[in-house]
Amino acid sequence: MAMALRCFRHLPSLLHRSRLAALRGPPRAPPGCPALLPSGCSHCGHRMLPSRQLATKKAKGKGQSQARVNISAALVEDIINLEETSEDMQAVVEALKEDFSRNLSVRTSPGALDHIIVVTKDGKFPLNQLGQISQKSPQLLIVNMASFPESTAAATKAIRESGMNLNPEADGTIIRVPVPKVTREHRESLAKLAKQSTNKSKEALRKVRSKSVNQVKKFKNKVSEDTIWLLEKQIQQMADSAAAEMDKLLAAKTKELLG
């Protein structure tokens, strides 16, 4: 009974605060703005980007992750094209996937030679545009250069320097490419190449991130510091996500190569 009386004693003040909050109403628009929308004023372009939230000690503790930033691309399209940034980063990831698939395989097949670049006096061309590639046996690939006999020597050199551990032999317009046995040493060599390719891709990813951050910084005198900070954080999150995808690709490829 005593506890109930103590709670009842605080009820009038709570009702008073609730009444004041109701009288205040929703946030008012800035001077000159006829309406304030959650995403900003459609008449004057007034932005309502969220303020920076400083992490507390508790949020920074072990096992505590800070909230992700997710700014609407349309809201900042006059500062930076976030969709284009995302596409550029994903293009780097896709290029790594293609490199893994095309050049880093334990089994050498005719398709593995298709995109080896051959440097000729007329320019650079994929091998499959200059010669007909076929597999005569599991241990031997054949490249017929009859259509472009003058490029036979260049094609032989390109195959040898492709990094695929191949030692081609030219006989007239025919290039014979013995397929090496899959040794542990060869597998480890391919795994190292996969790591090198991933590092190069991450460097390309950092260039995309830096380019986008520099684009945002051009507006530091036109928008708030918090807006710049939030955009930089979102760009970094996008880069981190792409890098994490690359790490997963590398882990899967390394497992495939080493067995």
Kindly list the structural domains of the chain, giving each domain's residue range(s) and its CATH number in brackets, ordered by start. Answer: 73-104+183-258 (1.10.132.20), 110-178 (3.30.1360.40)
Q: Work out the number of other CB atoms within 10 angstroms of the CB of residue 257.
A: 21
Q: Average pLDDT, stretch 46-72?
A: 52
- Assess contact for 114 and 141: CB atoms under 8 A: no
Q: Report pLDDT for 108.
A: 67
Q: Residue ranges of the alpha helices (H) in 104-165?
A: 110-113, 127-130, 152-160
* Cβ neighbours of residue 176 closer than 8 Å, sequence gap 6 or more: 140, 141, 142, 168, 169, 170
Q: Report pLDDT for 66.
A: 60
Residues 121-162 have pLDDT tens digits of 999 999 999 999 998 888 899 999 999 999 999 999 999 998
Residue 171: phi and psi, rounded to 5, are: -135, 95
Q: Report pLDDT for 22.
A: 43
- C-alpha to C-alpha distance for 71 and 227, rounded to whole angstroms: 10
- Cβ burial, residue 63 (10 Å; 0-12/13-18/19+): exposed
pLDDT confidence band for 7 (50 / 70 / 90): very low
Residues 19-55 have pLDDT tens digits of 444 444 444 444 444 333 444 444 444 444 544 443 4
Structure tokens, 246: 């690359």
Q: Report pLDDT for 107.
A: 67
Q: Average pLDDT, stretch 69-91?
A: 88
- Give the pTM: 0.61
- C-alpha to C-alpha distance for 89 and 212, rounded to whole angstroms: 11
pLDDT for 57 beyond 60: no
- Assess contact for 127 and 143: CB atoms under 8 A: yes
pLDDT confidence band for 4 (50 / 70 / 90): very low
Higher-confidence position of 17 and 117: 117
Structure tokens, 97: 């996937």
